[in-house]
Amino acid sequence: MFGLLNDPGENRLDPQAYKNCRGRFYFFWNCIKTSGRPVLVALMAGPAAYSVEESSNEVLVHEATRRLRQIFGAENVPYPKEVAVVRWLNDPFSYGTYSYVGPKTQPGDYDIMAKPVGRVHFGGEATCGTHPATVHGAYISGLRAAGEVLESFIGPIKVPEPLIPRKIKSEIPTTPTQTTPNGIKHKKGYVSIWEPIVPPAPPTSREAVNAEAEAFEAKIVSAILAELGERPVKADRMGVNPYLLYTTEHWYNVKAACDARKAAATGKPGAKAERDEIRAAIGEEWRLLPDDKKKPYIEKCELARKHNLEVTERLKVWDREAERIRREFVERNPPPEGVNVSVKPSGGIEIGIGRKGRKLGGYEE
């Protein structure tokens, strides 16, 4: 498992801006050991979890893939073959909620929620005080509730003591000592695996050349970093829309107002407005917004565009200088015999990619 630290962009000092983005793809679980397949589970938290309900599958998959490629390199992260997007807010049995410890929680509250009422028994993570808000807590509570239901029919279940019988150690008769083919004696009960130890084969000429090539590339990277430092991070987006900024900031307030109108019109307290209704309402709100209210969003977009252009220009300068340093290094230090090094790089080694698409490692190495 590994986590991501999200960048709020220009509003790095604004706690609200960081709050809105910090939970977006903030955590990944590698499930290959449990599923036997290359599966990653991405998690959302906080306000970002609400945005999943409104974002399309294509947008979410594209963004998750882009973030993984920024970490591991584009050549190491293919586009996923299959994707499952879970929108818990639309699940009528959960509506996106799970238990959490509130400020007035008392010891034993989870146990109280786990108590049966008559013939009705309760399970779920909210009834498991040892593992709340987890899938395994829900599983454990299901076993507990099933046991309670069974006991209500057949009475208390006798559990043998001990539950797991002790293992009986069986000894295989052996000679007092055993001698291995090389004459070494071992004590009674020692089991030897008599297999010849084959020394590792010497590296082939191709492997040796590849090793020299990687070492030479690492020297070039060190020379580039010593003079230029780390390569600037590419800007996320070249264009920013003020209407989209406004929508992100006011979506949930407008949604709450639309839900209230929907509930009043239908007479159903839990009625929810459709996404198109919310979009229409927030679009109308933006159109009627006075210019002085729109101005902060427009200014933010202008600053973001200016910043992105500056970053792009710094990237171009860095790449040109890296190419110059590489060329001069190769001229001063000819590569070893058999190692072919391109004087004009394709951008691979400057972003940590070695020959034939192999990842050599970051600049820190």
In a domain, 69, yes or no: yes
Domain count of the fold of the chain: 3
Same domain? 353 vs 234: yes
CATH code, domain with 123: 1.10.10
Q: What is the CA radius of gyration of the chain?
A: 31
144 & 244 share domain = no
192 inside domain: no
Of 89, 167, 97, 156, nearest in space to 125 by CA: 97
Sign, Cα dihedral of 87, 88, 92, 95: negative
Residues 251 and 351 in one domain: yes
pLDDT the model gives residue 122:
94
- Side-chain half-sphere exposure of 246, counting CA atoms within 13 A: 21
pLDDT at 249: 85
The verdict on residue 238 lying in a domain is yes
- Alpha carbons 58 and 22: distance in angstroms, whole number: 21
Domain extent at residue 146: 109-154
Domain termination site, one of 138, 154, 170: 154
Q: Is residue 67 a contact partner of residue 25, using CB atoms and an 8 Å limit?
A: yes
Residue 79 shares a structural domain with residue 137? no
Q: Is residue 29 part of a domain?
A: yes
Q: What is the pLDDT of residues 152-211, one digit of tens each?
A: 888 887 877 777 777 776 555 544 454 545 555 544 443 444 444 455 566 566 666 677
Report pLDDT for 304: 82
Residues 58 and 129 reside in one and the same domain? no
- Are residues 336 and 239 located together in one domain of the fold? yes
Out of 18-27, 312-321, 351-360, pick the least confident.
351-360
CA dihedral 307, 308, 310, 315 (to 10 degrees): 140
Share of the chain above pLDDT 90, in %: 12
The reply to whether 174 falls in a domain is no
Task: Specify the 3-state DSSP secondary structure of 95.
Answer: coil
**Are both 130 and 55 inside the same structural domain?**
no
- Give this prediction's pTM: 0.37
- The reply to whether 196 falls in a domain is no
- Residue 50 in any domain: the answer is yes
For residue 215, is it within any domain?
no
Last residue of a domain, one of 154, 175, 190: 154
Same domain for 307 and 345, yes or no, is yes
The answer to whether residues 335 and 239 belong to one domain is yes
Mean pLDDT of the residues in the chain:
78
